[in-house]
Amino acid sequence: MDLKDKTILITGSTDGVGRVVAQRLGAGGARVLVHGRDAARGKAAVADIEAAGGKAEFFAADLASLAEVRRLAEAVHEKIARLDILINNAGVGTAGQNAKRQVSADGYELRFAVNYLAGFLLTSELLPLLKASAPARIVNVASAGQQAIDFSDVMLTRGYSGVRAYCQSKLAQILFTVDLAEQLKGSGITVNALHPASYMNTTMVRQAGVTPWSSVETGAEAIVNLATSPDLEGRSGLYFDGLRESRADAQAYDTTARQQLRSLSLDLVGQATSKDQHS
């Protein structure tokens, strides 16, 4: 894919693998919309891309707040006329063995809120821009760590575990990917998910007390592949393990589970009155 004149939004791109992806896509000629919570880190990420001859601008938002997710979408709509690629990369890790249950600004379990629900809402809010820019791509950065969603206790109020919360939120991203791919058939927008690499050298992994196994560069290569590879043109609803097409947890391919998650998500973000979020 020729990245010249393409506009790409990458959430969580002031640090870790997201920052490397932003640098690579900026170096390739794209206009990169850098997102993060910290303005100083955002400014530094933009400066790096510009120093290498690329174009970038920073958008601040805390994805633990649905109001801020909406503000982010509004800011993007105001600033740009087209969006060719959306990469939902921002996330909260497992926080290690002693993780305590935390909640978002809206009172939802934090990992479900940030890793999944924020991307669900942001994607919904930005679909008009993506449709206007088609062919366009959505990439959801998930994980090989997946655990089936227990719809009787999605917010994990019983027997909380940070690992379980993280794995559930990452599988939710994949259910969303498969579901959205079906809804967007014929729109010119593809949506795919991936596990970029195992235990990359990121803040998230170090905070979990894990010794990194792989580099952020390896993970970035896999994300850039889904975002730009000509081999993926018109292909949608897929899950990749690194550079290889793979299969996610069986729940991702369960139509009933996907409908349940969509219904719940629309309710949680306050769009339940809409018959179809993507109409």
Max Cα–Cα distance, the chain, nearest Å:
51
Residue 232 has what DSSP assignment?
G
Spatial CB neighbours of 81, under 8 Å, sequence gap ≥ 6 = none
User: Would you say 25 and 87 are in contact if contact means Cβ atoms under 8 Å apart?
Assistant: no
User: 166, 199, 239, 253: which is the annotated catalytic residue?
Assistant: 166
Based on the residue annotation, tell me whether 166 is a catalytic residue of this protein. Answer: yes
How far is Cα 58 from Cα 38, in angstroms, rounded to an integer?
A: 10
Residue 122 has what DSSP assignment?
H
Do β-strands 244-246 and 239-241 pair in parallel, antiparallel, or remain unpaired? antiparallel
How far is Cα 234 from Cα 215, in angstroms, rounded to an integer?
A: 29
Question: Which residues are part of the catalytic machinery?
Answer: 166
